[in-house]
C-alpha cells in the first residue's frame, strides 16, 4: 500500500514539476525597458510606456535599506536589497495610470502611465 502511495505521490510531484517547465514562447513581444533609481524616493516618479506591450522596469536601490517595489494594480512585488538592482517584469497593460510604491516606506510613490 505504501509503495503504491509513494508511486502516486511521485506521479503527483512529477505532474507539478512538469507544470513548472518553462513553456515560454521566448517573449515573442519586445518589452519596453524603463530604468529607475530609488534613494528614498523614485527617480523619476512618473514613467511612460505604450499599451499592449510587456514592460520591464529596472529598479536600482541606492539606499542602505532593503526596499520592496510593489504595485497592486500591476500585480508586481519584488524585494530589492540595499545597494541592489532588480528587474521587474510587468505584463502588457491597458492604457491607464498605475501606481507603484515602496512597501517598506509607503511615502515613496510613483506612477506608470500606460498610453
Partner 1 sequence: MLAALIIVFREVFEAGLIIGIVLAVTRSVKRRNRWIAGGVLAGVLGACVVAAFAGALSQLFEGMGQELFNAAILGVAVVMLTWHNVWMARHGKEMAGELRAVGQAVAEGSKSLLALAVVVGVAVLREGSEVALFLYGVAASDGGSAMSLLVGGLLGLVLGGAVCLFTYFGLLRIPPRALFTTTTVLITLLAAGMAAQAVSFLERANWLTALDTVVWDTSWLLSEDSILGRTLHTLIGYTDQPTGMQLVIYAAVVLVTIALMRLVGSEPPRHAVAAG
> What are the residues binding partner 1 (CB under 8 A)?
1, 5, 8-9, 12-13, 15-17, 19-20, 22-25, 27, 64-66, 68, 72, 75-76, 78-82, 84, 86-89, 91, 103-104, 106
**Structure-block grid coordinates of residue 89:** 517584469
Closer residue to partner 1 in complex, CB, 47/55: 55
Closer residue to partner 1 in complex, CB, 88/112: 88
Distance of alpha carbon 69 from the chain centroid: 8
Closer residue to partner 1 in complex, CB, 13/113: 13
Number of helices and strands (H, E) in the chain?
1, 9
Distance of alpha carbon 35 from the chain centroid: 14
CA pair distance 45, 2, nearest whole angstrom? 58
Q: Would you call 8 helix, strand, or coil by DSSP?
A: helix
Closer residue to partner 1 in complex, CB, 35/89: 89
Amino acid at each position: 500500500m505504501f509503495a503504491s502511495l509513494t508511486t502516486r505521490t511521485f506521479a503527483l510531484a512529477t505532474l507539478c514539476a512538469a507544470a513548472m517547465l518553462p513553456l515560454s514562447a521566448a517573449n515573442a513581444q519586445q518589452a519596453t525597458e524603463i530604468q529607475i533609481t530609488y534613494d528614498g524616493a523614485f527617480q523619476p516618479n512618473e514613467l511612460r510606456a505604450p499599451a499592449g506591450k510587456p514592460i520591464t522596469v529596472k529598479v536600482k536601490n541606492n539606499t542602505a535599506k532593503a526596499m520592496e517595489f510593489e504595485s497592486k494594480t500591476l500585480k508586481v512585488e519584488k524585494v530589492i536589497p540595499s545597494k541592489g538592482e532588480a528587474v521587474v517584469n510587468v505584463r502588457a497593460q491597458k492604457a491607464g495610470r498605475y501606481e507603484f510604491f515602496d512597501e517598506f516606506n509607503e511615502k515613496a510613490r510613483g506612477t506608470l502611465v500606460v498610453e
